[in-house]
Structure 1
């Protein structure tokens, strides 16, 4: 099941926030009220997408992302909204932000999807665009993110399928660990991320991310 289509995406634009270190618990500091902004003509899709996602490929690598066009739509396919092992922590705010928590409140997963702000997309390089997206959310410059990030993977079109190249940054403090997994799309001028923030170790958070990836996927509709 996918979330409401992209009516709200046009109002969601990444903005830089106060500088945050790439360590420690950041969930409480994630902007939950992203200021609305109209996208530029170059980033606003020119056509209404069909209801069916594209299934022409089983992967969406950083290189394959360059085959998308400005009229493509990218969004989360949200499988947690109907999962009784998760509860809503914060509802969709209309600006591309929402979150869920486990029933015991040991983990929270924050989702965002929206258009990239000016200067974030790096033409011809989805990996660099993704690092720039992470920098815009956490603060600082892409050069601060790149050496601290690692490659990750999100599900593509169907939960549990894998195939979407992504970038991850990890932070730890006593008793808590968070992992941010993001993907920016240079050609589309859009991006998405999730932050899993849990009590426990890196392994505990990775297990939660595996659960989320098994139920939620990146949906692309060209």
Structure 2
């Protein structure tokens, strides 16, 4: 058995355990850093898109290092107007909330908040994004990086893409899952989403989420 295959099996086992706990508890792991940026809006005020935003159409890992420390970063809430999704768990006050497809086959668990309890690497948004995945999967970052791939969230408006992320995916029978995260080391915050599908394709569902939902950045 190769090391890569062994890591993949460990990731799948850890993810299934994680998702099982999430399904039972209805909330994100307590280990995920709680709180939100100091000037965060009150619960339930996520925005679809800002009135004004930064220039550029991408936010790569390298471009994230150009952000100022007081840049405000949050999830938009494009799924609220999509009749294919419903709220499964409202904002829990700790930066987490969950949507589910109306047919009950998939959930999307969003988180935004400070990365205080994450082993971030200053000046390295990619490695720090892997560290968020490590918290989600309760695994060392060193075990996350080899199987993780670079994906993207949408930037400023759904369908744009452009925000580089790190992600891991897995399959357990008919169940598929995808965990994606982005750390912003200049601002000390991060975002993540866990897509869990008991039927269907988690990666295809993530693509649909990106069509409707975006990361909103306010300088």
Q: Aligning the two structures, in what range does the TM-score lie when normalised by the shorter sequence? A: 0.7 to 0.9
- Give the gaps of 5 or more residues in structure 1: 1-19, 46-50
Distance (whole Å) between structure 1 residues aligned to residue 80 and residue 10 of structure 2: 31
Residues 1:217 and 2:214 aligned together:
yes
Distance (whole Å) between structure 2 residues aligned to residue 38 and residue 60 of structure 1: 23
Q: Name the Cα RMSD after superposition.
A: 2.3
Count of residue pairs brought into register by the alignment: 193
- Give the gaps of 5 or more residues in structure 2: 1-8, 40-49
Aligned-partner SS, 1:153: strand
Match of 1:22 among 11, 18, 29: 11
Judge conservation of contact 1:33–1:93 (CA < 8 Å) in 2: no
Higher helix share: 2
C-alpha displacement of 1:199:
2.4
Distance (whole Å) between structure 1 residues aligned to residue 161 and residue 56 of structure 2: 12
The aligned counterpart of 2:76 is 77
The aligned counterpart of 2:100 is 101
Distance (whole Å) between structure 2 residues aligned to residue 85 and residue 99 of structure 1: 14
Residues 1:173 and 2:175 aligned together:
no
- The C-alpha deviation readout for 1:163-205, integer Å capped at 9, x for no partner, is 000011112111101001110011110000111111246xx22
Distance (whole Å) between structure 1 residues aligned to residue 161 and residue 142 of structure 2: 27
Residues 1:190 and 2:186 aligned together:
no
Mapping 1:119-198, distance limit 5 Å: 120-198=119-197
Change (3 A) 1:70 1:23: same
Change (3 A) 1:142 1:85: same
C-alpha displacement of 1:83:
1.4
C-alpha displacement of 1:37:
5.9
Change (3 A) 1:29 1:119: same
C-alpha displacement of 1:212:
0.4
Report the TM-score when normalising by structure 2. Answer: 0.81
Report the TM-score when normalising by structure 1. Answer: 0.79
